[in-house]
Amino acid sequence: MPDRMAFEVPEKAGTRTLADREGLLGTLFLLPAFVYIITLVGIPLVLAITYSFSNVTAGNTAFDFNGLENFRLILATPQFRRALWDTLYFTIVSQIIIIILATALAELLALDFRGKRLARVLLILPWATPISLGTIGWLWLLDSKFSPIDWVLRAIHLLGPGTIFGPGLHMNYLGKTNLAMASVIIVYVWRFLPLSAVILMAGLTSINREILDQAAVDGSGFWRTLLEIKVPLLLPIVNVALLFGFISMFSDMTVIFLLTRGGPVYYTQVLASWAYFKGVEGGALGEGAATALFLFPVLLAGVIMVLRSTRRMEVT
């Protein structure tokens, strides 16, 4: 039998292919992500920090350092304080409603019933739909004159003379402060509920079936099993859903921009939209950048709190 070594061609120096060079190949694979982050995150962040400490405006592009003057100016304006309050209020209230509804939806969709796949597809549609198109749809639903919601309320005698919603024929959802705030929360819930429901549904499937079977043998009912077994085991997953929802909702301005543009007056303004109106439409680039930078510490504090809470739950 001929020696196999006789048929092997010795490798010459410098003939290694790109696939053999792991260090170079890894660098090439990471390069697009690195360029993306630097271009779309790093450079705008540096510009925002630079703008926030200067008096730059749309009409004056000179970078004259003015220290913390922009931050002092925005803190003194009631619009900024209202935007900060609305951002926290919309995010917290919406997330509470989302987690409650997402838990119920996840529990429902974990059951076996006819049309389960169709229900899951319909559930994810609000999240898959571009947020601008979805918000425009809600803008029509909440129209002050042609809202189909008002038509339904009038048809079932809940709106009109002598009804519980008042004598008017229209609710004017986006023209009254309380209704506008409630409308924004509803749209936020509609938008971000599917993601949280899918995350919690995945968490339900990861629960050890033997634990649930043992609880059923011990006579545990639906509510006791849900509140004392499933919910405690789902808390780390709930924190993940809260984290995604908190970051997405806190930095979103599309809903406000298309739905109310911060109105009536400025009672539904959020930090992201106020930074845009102040910096881009108002031309005060320095103050707009300072407003936008307030998003970073608040988001960072929220993320740290959620991650530390999740870690404690996992250790427990």
The phi and psi torsions of 208 (rounded to 5 degrees) equal: -60, 125
Asked whether residue 12 is domain-assigned, the answer is: no
Cα–Cα distance, 304 to 316 (Å, whole number): 18
Residue 280 lies in a domain: yes
d(CA 240, CA 164): 40
pLDDT tens, residue order, the chain (316 aa): 455 544 454 555 455 676 667 777 778 888 888 898 898 888 888 888 888 898 888 887 777 888 888 899 999 999 999 999 999 899 999 999 999 999 999 888 888 888 888 888 888 888 888 888 999 999 999 998 889 999 999 889 888 888 888 888 888 899 899 999 999 999 999 999 998 998 998 888 888 888 888 888 888 888 888 888 888 888 888 888 888 888 888 888 899 999 999 988 889 999 999 999 998 888 888 999 999 888 888 778 877 887 777 777 665 5
DSSP 234: H
Burial 44-55 (b: 16+ CB within 10 A, else e): eeeebeebbbbb
**Which residues are within 8 A (CB) of 132 and not within 5 positions of it... i.e. 6 or more apart?**
254, 258
Does some domain include residue 25? no
Q: Tell me whether residue 132 is in a domain.
A: yes
Helical H segments across 16-164, by residue range: 22-37, 43-52, 69-75, 78-109, 116-128, 131-141, 148-155
In a domain, 73, yes or no: no
Domain residues for the domain of 189 are: 78-315
216 lies in a domain? yes
Distance CA(207)–CA(227), nearest Å, equals 14
62 is a domain residue: no
Cα–Cα distance for residue pair 39/234, rounded to 1 Å: 38
Residue at 55 is within a domain: no
- What CATH number does the domain containing 154 carry? 1.10.3720.10
> Looking at the 3D structure of the chain, how many domains does it have?
1
